[in-house]
């Protein structure tokens, strides 16, 4: 199953305008604390690490997705630092039955050839454990 790759600007626009979507930030809590998180409607944001600090996959990832997202047709946008982990997470979630999974290809920080959420001047906020 293929994942649709979209730029951060497109994802931010869809999340803001249409409301039937969720942004899933799969970076680690350390990354959220040091770099910030996307600023979107809090009902549209899920902070859920794909990997633990050690690099191993988060064993609770699937359970958390299923517990927090009951609508299998909700547009799900996945973001990490530069698009790699988020692609893996999006593919995994699509394989467990969610229909509309998108990877934010330029990530939060961007790459050498892309800007990313932060460098595109999209809204960000300081991470709070209450987010």
Mean pLDDT of 12-30: 94
SS (H, E, C) the chain: CCCEEECHHHHHHHHHHHCCEEEEECCCHHHHHHHCEECCCHHHEEECCCECCCCCECCCHHHHHHHHCCCCCCEEEEECCCCHHHHHHHHHHHHCCCCEEEEECCCCCCCCCCCHHHHCCCCEECCCCCC
Domain coordinates in residue numbering, the chain: 4-125
Q: Tell me the pLDDT tens digit for each residue of 71-121.
A: 999 999 999 999 999 999 999 999 999 999 999 999 999 988 889 999 999
Mean pLDDT of 41-63: 93
Per-residue confidence (pLDDT) for residue 114, from 0 to 100: 84
Fold of 4-125: Oxidized Rhodanese; domain 1 (3.40.250)
Q: Is the pLDDT of residue 131 over 60?
A: no
Can you read off the two tokens belonging to residue 98? 């969610």
Distances (CA, A) of 39 to 45, 57, 66, 95, 130: 8, 25, 23, 28, 13
Per-residue confidence (pLDDT) for residue 130, from 0 to 100: 60
What rounded mean pLDDT belongs to the chain? 93
Q: Are strands 124-125 and 45-47 parallel, antiparallel or unpaired?
A: unpaired
Side-chain-side CA neighbours of residue 101 (13 Å) = 23
């Amino acid at each position: 199953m293929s994942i649709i790759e979209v730029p951060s600007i497109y994802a931010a626009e869809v999340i803001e305008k249409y409301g039937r979507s969720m942004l899933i930030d799969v970076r680690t809590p350390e990354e959220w604390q040091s770099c910030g998180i996307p600023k979107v409607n809090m009902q549209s944001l899920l902070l859920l690490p794909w990997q633990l600090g050690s690099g191993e996959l988060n064993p609770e990832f699937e359970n958390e997705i299923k517990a927090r997202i009951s609508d299998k047709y909700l547009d799900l946008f996945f973001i990490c630092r530069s698009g790699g982990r988020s692609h893996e997470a999006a593919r995994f979630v699509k394989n467990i039955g969610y229909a509309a999974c998108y990877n934010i290809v330029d990530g939060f920080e961007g790459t050498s050839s892309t800007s990313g959420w932060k460098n595109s001047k999209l809204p960000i906020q300081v991470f709070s454990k209450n987010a």
